[in-house]
Structure 1
Amino acid sequence: MTNIEQPKEKETAFGVNEKGYYGQFGGAYIPEMLFPNVEELQQNYLEIIYRPDFQEEFHGLLKNYVGRPTPLYLANRLSEKYNTNIYLKREDLCHTGAHKVNNTIGQILLAKRLGKNKIVAETGAGQHGVATATVCALMGLECIVYMGEIDIQRQAPNVARMKMLGAEVRPATSGSKTLKDATNEALRHWINNPVDTHYIIGSVVGPHPYPDMVARFQSVISEEMRSQLLEQTGKENPDYVIACVGGGSNAAGAFYHFLDEPEVQLIAAEAGGHGIYSGLSAATTFLGKPGVLHGSKSILMQTEDGQVVEPHSISAGLDYPGIGPLHAHLWESGRAKFFAITDDESIQAGFELTKLEGIIPAIESAHALAALQYLKAGSDETVVINLSGRGDKDLATYMKYL
């Protein structure tokens, strides 16, 4: 079992600074009532998560409960079609069906060490909600999950799983009734219950230290990629890493160990919805500008007077009007390249993977697969796609296209 000491923070252009910023993005823009909770996390998270006892418990659960390491699979038929070497990082094979559980295990272990006995969370596609409900059941903690009313309807299987796991699912009925609104409600709940409750944020969003903390828990993805690539190809670094980005936790995990490796091209697939300029999109980097949402400064879809523009995506997990501050910095600096993938393109890519490789991806992950058509990768190059979740929850949506 790996026992990781806290790493010495090396000089990097892409890490968070002591004030919680990635370049100009990040920070902690919070109401006064939340200041004690957020300050407690800021002062303690690194010291706690790199304690030997924490690392032993965390990695033990990742191995024996989640099922890590997840496979790195050479997709031969998909590779043949695109004339390049495509590997899939199989986060869809994690317990609960997506990468989200890596973070919820880390955060619930942190919450217990901080003496919190109640958990609140937000969810869009329901995968983070399921992962949170799962670890709360595992640890015997009370769990409340906020979910947009529209997402409750389109992700019914995950709602049933959360309830079976003992979580209370509360609908968010304001705004677009999707992920943004669920996050608003979860933050309000935390403001009203600051003493005994820990908020498990599901993505690399929110006030510092959440973006950095979630990225560290998810960095197990790229850590495994490197060792698996070395074993299978003889070199640690691929030529491309592709991941979908809503808030961006799976992408942060997939990119993490390659951030300071300029030869690795980082590709982010955003939700283009019906088209970037259709009025029904969640293509944040194409449509957004700097602004503050959910406790941090990032790139945000907003009107001229700063009102949030309602996003649209066929995938509940990408239906968000902003991106995490790390990704905003990667975009602004040019370190990562962003593509806007339409609803139709993602569905086509999902069917393509299913028919070529026998793997049904989450529609979120299908956005990453659809970016392949824009890469023009060479026959001697290596592409790793983070297959962040499985498509069981999306079958009703897929079936509409059959």
Structure 2
Amino acid sequence: MSKFDFGQMPDREGFFGEFGGQIIPPELKKIMDEIDQAYEEIRQKPEFQEELASLLTDFVGRPSPIYYARRLTEKLGGARIFLKREDLNHTGAHKINHCLGEALLAKYMGKTKVIAETGAGQHGVALATACALVGIPCEIHMGQVDIEKEHPNVTKMKILGCKLVPVTRGTATLKDAVDSAFEEYLKDPVSYIYAIGSVVGPHPFPKMVRDFQCVIGQEARQQFQEKEGKLPNYITACVGGGSNAMGLFTAFLNDDDVNIVGVEPAGKGLATTEHSATLTLGKPSEIHGMKCYVLEDENGEPMPVHSIASGLDYPGVGPQHSYLKELGRVNYETASDEECLDAFMTLSQVEGIIPALESSHAVAWAMRKAAELPSDQTILVNLSGRGDKDADYVANKLGL
């Protein structure tokens, strides 16, 4: 019996403890409630479950394997490191798991356009892919800084037929892309649907995205037990908004012997203002229709944030992560840009696996932790995406 009692999360109003909810105008609340109702209806339908399961198997390529990183483990000494290979999914990351669900929901609801934001471009590529598959128009908003940094994904989105909207306001990164996409959505929320790319935003999106991503942890729990005859001692994933992390963590929340660690970007250092360590240095506040931990400036506005990984530079975080931090069930730690680059290159050259810069934060923490632990301990890392999109950027940065 777990010492934690999570109950039904979220509650009917969309709260995880004090976090979450719908901090939105009344007219938008009606729309969100309709989405929630449609989601609860569609998820009960056997034909929806069968179609989604079939696509996850035959289109995405699930289940993704668990891989023992033997050479990395031997190099570091200490605990054995395992990787949940979400990088092997079609489109190269975990994002396709919830994008298929959201695209099918949009089609079920008769929406005429799917709108979304993207940071690193993985959500954008996955959503454009899913929309092409189900035959519904797609519009992606992306910060100009990220467009220049993640050019391969920009090209893929255009090839897949989506409309790409560059965002030049503010820092021209993820937070500004969210603002821009939401403004477009508000022009016609009855006909459009905003397919949020993480476990953030107003209810029901933190719940829906988590539910679609839970396949990661469900698979991993069974796979690890089959491989090792027990559960891992530690599981870890990077956290920006937090969808890949919730996808892994949910299946293990009631396993008290499993230590759960989310890894945030320390960027150029926690003593600077150039980081995205929301749960580490932020405080409870409101952003993008929800209550969660937020990094704010002296005026109470969301702080300009930084991470070498475009998918992690967000000043808020999923409300369920905020709740799990308060409960003490999940520990949230950090990895710097420098550690992330080192993990990126080490995994590439020792295991022949090029990880996304986002995922490299979790790899960096695992490398640091493994050396402190005895060899009978195990660490399972959610390798949430592949690094094709980051290869040119890293090569230029390191002068390769």
Please say if 1:240 is aligned against 2:257: no
Equivalent residue for 2:388, pick from 371, 392, 396: 392
Note the residue ranges of structure 2 that are not aligned, 5 or more in a row: none
Secondary structure of the residue aligned to 1:380 is coil
Instruction: Using structure 2 for the length normalisation, give the TM-score.
Output: 0.95
CA distance in 2, matches of 1:227, 1:122: 33
Q: Which residue of 1 aligns with 2:123?
A: 128
Partner of 1:183: 178
What's the C-alpha RMSD, in Å, of the aligned pairs?
A: 1.4
In the TM superposition, residue 122 of structure 1 has moved relative to its aligned partner by 0.5
Q: Which residue of 247, 257, 262 corresponds with 1:253? A: 247
Deviations for 1:319-348, whole angstroms, at most 9, x for unmatched residues? 111110011111122111111211010000
Equivalent residues in 2 for 1:321-336 (5 A)?
A: 321-336=315-330
Match of 1:170 in 2: 165
Check whether the contact 1:245–1:251 (CA below 8 A) recurs between aligned residues: yes
TM-score in terms of structure 1 length: 0.95
Measure the CA separation in 2 of the matches of 1:66 and 1:82.
Answer: 34
Structure 1: gaps (5+ residues): 1-9
Task: Say if 1:14 and 1:329, in contact at 8 Å, map to a contact too.
Answer: no
Match of 2:132 in 1: 137
Q: Which residue of 1 aligns with 2:373?
A: 377
Q: Which letter does structure 1 place at the counterpart of 2:274?
A: L
Structure 1 residue 234: Cα displacement: 1.4
- Secondary structure (helix, strand or coil) at the match of 1:323 reads coil
Q: Give the match's secondary structure for 2:84.
A: strand
2-side partners of 1:377 and 1:136: how far apart?
45
Q: Secondary structure at the match of 1:267?
A: strand
1:171-208 Cα offsets, whole Å, 9 max, x none, are 11111111111111111111111121111111000001
Is 1:85 matched with 2:98? no
Identity of aligned residues (%): 48
Letter of the 1:186 partner, please give it.
A
Counterpart AA for 1:275: G
CA distance, structure 2, for counterparts of residue 308 and residue 76 of structure 1:
42
Task: Tell me, yes or no, if the aligned pair for 2:81 and 2:366 is still in contact at 8 Å.
Answer: no
Q: Secondary structure at the match of 1:61?
A: helix
Instruction: Tell me which residue corresponds to 1:341.
Output: 335
Runs of 4+ in 1 over 3 A off after TM superposition: none
Equivalent residue, structure 2, for 1:151: 146
Report how many residues are paired: 392
For residues 226 and 24 of structure 1, what CA distance do their matches in structure 2 show?
A: 29
Instruction: Provide the residue aligned with 1:201 in structure 2.
Output: 196
Q: 1:270-318 CA deviation, whole Å, 9 max, x = no partner?
A: 0111001211111112221111111100000002431111000110000
Structure 1 window deviating more from structure 2 (172-181 vs 120-129): it is 172-181
- The equivalent of 2:56 in structure 1 is 62
SS at structure 2 position matched to 1:18? coil
Q: Which amino acid aligns with 2:22?
A: A
Distance in 1 separating the partners of 2:394 and 2:290: 34
Amino acid in the other structure paired with 2:262: A
Cα offset, 1:374, TM superposition: 4.1
Deviating more after overlay: 265-274 vs 327-336: 327-336
User: What is the alpha-carbon distance in structure 1 between the residues aligned to residue 184 and residue 374 of structure 2?
Assistant: 50
1:3 matched to which residue of 2?
none
For 1:19 and 1:32, how far apart are their aligned partners in 2?
14
Choose which of 224, 228, 245 in structure 1 pairs with 2:223: 228
Looking at structure 1, the residues matched to 304 and 254 of structure 2 have their Cα atoms a distance apart, in angstroms, of 34
Alignment counterpart, residue 33 of structure 2, candidates 39, 46, 50: 39
SS in 2 for 1:340: strand
Alpha-carbon distance between aligned partners in 1 of 2:80 and 2:320, rounded to the nearest angstrom: 28
2-structure distance, mates of 1:355, 1:239: 26
Secondary structure of the structure 1 residue equivalent to 2:36? helix
8 Å Cα contact 2:119/2:310 also seen in 1: yes
Q: Which amino acid aligns with 1:246?
A: G
- In structure 2, C-alpha distance between the alignment counterparts of 1:109 and 1:377, rounded to whole Å: 44
In 2: Cα distance, 1:330 partner to 1:324 partner: 10
Counterpart of 2:236, as a letter, is I
Counterpart in 2 of 1:275? Answer: 269
Matched letter for residue 397 of structure 1: Y
1:96 aligned to 2:52? no
What is the rounded CA distance, in whole Å, between the counterparts of 1:12 and 1:102 in structure 2? 24
Determine the C-alpha separation between the residues in 1 that align with 2:297 and 2:117: 25
Q: Secondary structure at the match of 1:176?
A: coil
Cα distance in structure 2, aligned partners of 1:305 and 1:255: 34
Which one of the candidate residues 305, 315, 319 is aligned to 2:313? 319
How far, CA to CA, are the matches of 1:301 and 1:13 in structure 2?
Answer: 29
2:303 aligns with one of 304, 309, 315: 309
Of the three residues 102, 106, 131, the one matched with 2:101 is 106
Q: For the Cα contact (< 8 Å) 1:14–1:326, is it kept in 2?
A: no
